Amino acid sequence: MEVLGRQVGRARFEPSDRAILALLARLLPRDRLAGLLVTPATLLRWHRDAVRRRWTYSGRPGRPSLDPAVVAMIVRLAEENRRWGYVRIQGELAKLGVSVSATTVRNVLRRRGLGPAGSRRGPSWGEFLRAQASGILATDFFTVDTIALRRLYVLFFIEVGSRRVWLAGVTANPNGVWVTQQARNLRIGWEAPGPRFLLRDRDAKFSAGFDEVFRTEGTTVIRTPIRAPRANAFAERWVR
């Protein structure tokens, strides 16, 4: 046996072999897994590699840099209009055909040493969240990749004050009709009064019907700024 072991090299598995073994590991009973020639850790690694290859998008990573002309325009508007805040500057740029978020305006001005408008009053975003935590409900999606490389979307809600999480539903096709129905199902289980605010991002899966379910119950829907995950930090942190 030792001589044969030296003559026969180590088994080499092609990608198709790995896929079949990973599937068998899912179907076979535990007492027969020892005959698969590989350890469970190896099977899990193969599955992670398959998921990574399946959902790897082409293109240059990262966000494109902002046009210097737009940067100069933001700085000029801020310097010439000291009473304008980030949102006001964003709105004035939109009138000129320049589309940027309020967060981008803030970051540009911070790099130039320009803070918020001197006349800007009221609580910060963090202070608002802490003061209104008991009446805020945040929502978002996270994804799960199955062994068959199928991507499932999980919709959840989290009460900011208590950190209680509601798993609303799971689907492979989170269209507007499905998302709206999950909002209705969640609303049925609430005890009156409902939350004062619903915090969500600008994902297209959140349709107008979804927002209307909450508005009819007196809940104000707050959409976070574009590319600003920190604005929905409680949901993002729970997803990790």
- List, for residues 36-64, the tens digit of each pLDDT value: 667 777 777 777 777 777 776 555 566 67
pLDDT band (50, 70, 90) for residue 157: very high
Residue 178: what pLDDT?
Answer: 95
- Residue identified by tokens 């899966």 is 205
Beta strands in the chain (DSSP E): 136-145, 151-159, 165-171, 197-200, 220-223
Residue 47: what pLDDT?
Answer: 74
Residue 129: what pLDDT?
Answer: 72
**For residue 76, is pLDDT > 70?**
yes
Interatomic CA distance for residues 75 and 88, integer angstroms: 13
**For residue 231, is pLDDT > 50?**
yes
Q: Contact 152/143 with Cβ under 8 angstroms?
A: yes
Average pLDDT over residues 113-126: 62
- Residue identified by tokens 């409680």 is 234
Residue 181: what pLDDT?
Answer: 94
Residue 3: what pLDDT?
Answer: 45
Average pLDDT over residues 107-118: 79
